[in-house]
Chains A and B, each alone.
Chain A
Amino acid sequence: MAILKTDRLSRHFGGLAALSGVSIEFRHKEILGIIGPNGAGKTTFINVIAGIYLPTEGKIFFENQDVSELPAHKRCHLGIGRTFQLVRPLPGLSLVENVMVGALFGKGLGKKEARSKAEDLCLFLGLTDLSRDITRMTALEIKKMEIAHALATQPKLLFLDEVMAGLNGEETMEMIDLVRKIHRQGITIGIVEHVMRVIRELTDRVVVLDWGEVIAEGPYGDVSNDPKVISAYLGEEA
């Protein structure tokens, strides 16, 4: 069963087709990898699904409901969550308060409930020092806070946009375990990543985008040997 389905989804920026005719299905409770070279349209895809951009053409169905025209905050309320490539903690708010924002507005909790929910999530992700100065957090801590913030909105489908970027080998391993932990809670995950080891270890299926189009789809093992995918990453032989 599909939790999210896109039907020939396109998004143009002026003359540039950042996405064209993308039809992807996210199966219930799977981890789907979205890969492709720089500029392939991976982040644009997340932005269109999350409602930051409206599609130029095509439809998005979330749990069989047409959400193509819904504003971003309503899609969040329905259960589409996401993280951001470039994380910016909210200044003047503590670590827990940053995470609270997701619980306050994503799920409409009151302040007290939101705080305890945020504290639970921080601990769940291994952020044990709740009074941590957010201006001095490490890359890993910031990424964890960002994930906690997204989880606080209680998503059914969570997009992780390059959460491994900037992490060292050990931290990457920790993050992979965390993603598994989140997945075990019954959340469907869409993961955009450049680190292929992460994609290989985590995903059930992979979709490869290039120039805004889906060029391959299937288990990582198959896709990684697909000549089209190899040429997209390495370029055509002359």
Chain B
Amino acid sequence: MKTSRILLYLIVLAILFTLPFYTGVYVLNVMDIILIYMALALSWDMLLRSGQISFGMAGFFGVGGYAAVLLFLNTGVHPLLSIALGGLAAGLLAWLIGSAVLQLRGMYFAIVTLALAEIFRVIVRNLPDLTGGPEGTVLSQAIFAGNSTYTYWLVLTASAISVAVSEVFRHTRVHFALTSIRNDEIVAKSSGIDVFKYLVFLFAVTSAIQGITGGAYAHIYGFVSPEGSFSVDFTLLPIAMALLGGMHSTWGPVVGAVVLGVVSEFLKLQIPYGHLMVYGIIIVVAILFFPQGIMGALGQRWTKTGTG
């Protein structure tokens, strides 16, 4: 069963990998956005599996973007390496901050993450010599000189990494630890789970994914700016996708990202002004009718029990 699952992933990955050979630039550009949001939605969901809600994705996304661009400009490392280092920087920062703030839980932790994103933005804005201040920093050239195939492969890699991490978490002892922590921390501790260590680890890993995604985004669009890189979109849209697709799973956020990504692209073409309103209505209606998300509703229909 396990090998068949891995085989399935490889086939899907192969299809996605070869996409540039039979589609055009437009499809690839839409895919880029969907895959970037997919990685963010997954990273949000992974932390949620421990019961902690983060509103700080935009913060670590922006930190990753800035770290990647500034490292690239100031040290001359390869852009791909700078993206990886951007992810590392975001992960390390989350690890340090998490060690301090993960004594907080629930709404208190959520508010702190929201504040963190804002604090990062304000700091970046007020260091003009390093970051370019309010105007941000523009790269002379986007990564791969803007080649849409390579760019697509880059975001596909970032997204595949987050799917892989999520699946590893779903099918190893991490899954048991997170489910246990989410359900009852006192029971988790009494079962021998180092709750604090798991939460810090999880916060660092998910923030690193956000950092990598932010680094890729910055290099693809060739700029970082306080308003653009720390945009609240990078927090709210992934949450909407994970909620719509279904929480506490890998496929929920993936399906949610694809559905909302395609819908938002379609609406953008049909209703250039106000498409976000329709987008909002779709989310509200979907959550009213499928409180468990699309995958949750499908799962109930198939009455599948146990782990999936």
Report which A residues bind B (CB closer than 8 A). 50-52, 71-73, 76-77, 81-82, 84, 88, 90-94, 97, 100-102, 104-108, 111, 133, 149-150, 153
Contacts and interface: CB of A to CB of B under 8 A. Distances in A.
Given A88-B183, A94-B305, A105-B177, A153 B192 contact: yes
Contacts of B173: 104-105, 111
Given A88-B184, A90-B183, A93-B307, A101 B189 contact: no
Task: Name, among B190, B195, B305, the residue most crowded by chain A CB atoms within 10 Å (CB to CB).
Answer: B190
A106 B189 CA distance: 9
A52 B192 contact: no
B307 A102 contact: no
A77 B192 contact: yes
A102 B195 CA distance: 14
Interface string B100-127: 0000000000000000000000000000
Interface of B: 172-173, 176-177, 179-180, 183-184, 186-195, 248, 305-307
A72 B307 contact: no
Nearest to A47: B186
B65 to A, nearest CB: 35
B305 A102 contact: no
A101 B306 contact: no
Nearest to A89: B183
A76 B190 contact: yes
Contact of A97 (B176, B188, B192): B176
A149 B176 contact: no
A213 to B, nearest CB: 25
Nearest to B189: A72
16 contacts: A50-B190, A72-B189, A73-B190, A73-B191, A84-B190, A88-B183, A88-B184, A90-B183, A97-B306, A104-B173, A104-B177, A105-B173, A105-B176, A105-B177, A106-B192, A133-B305
Given A88-B184, A94-B306, A73 B248 contact: no
Which residue of B183, B248, B307 has the most chain A CB atoms within 10 A of its CB atom? Answer: B183
B193 A73 contact: yes
A100 B176 contact: yes
Nearest to B306: A94
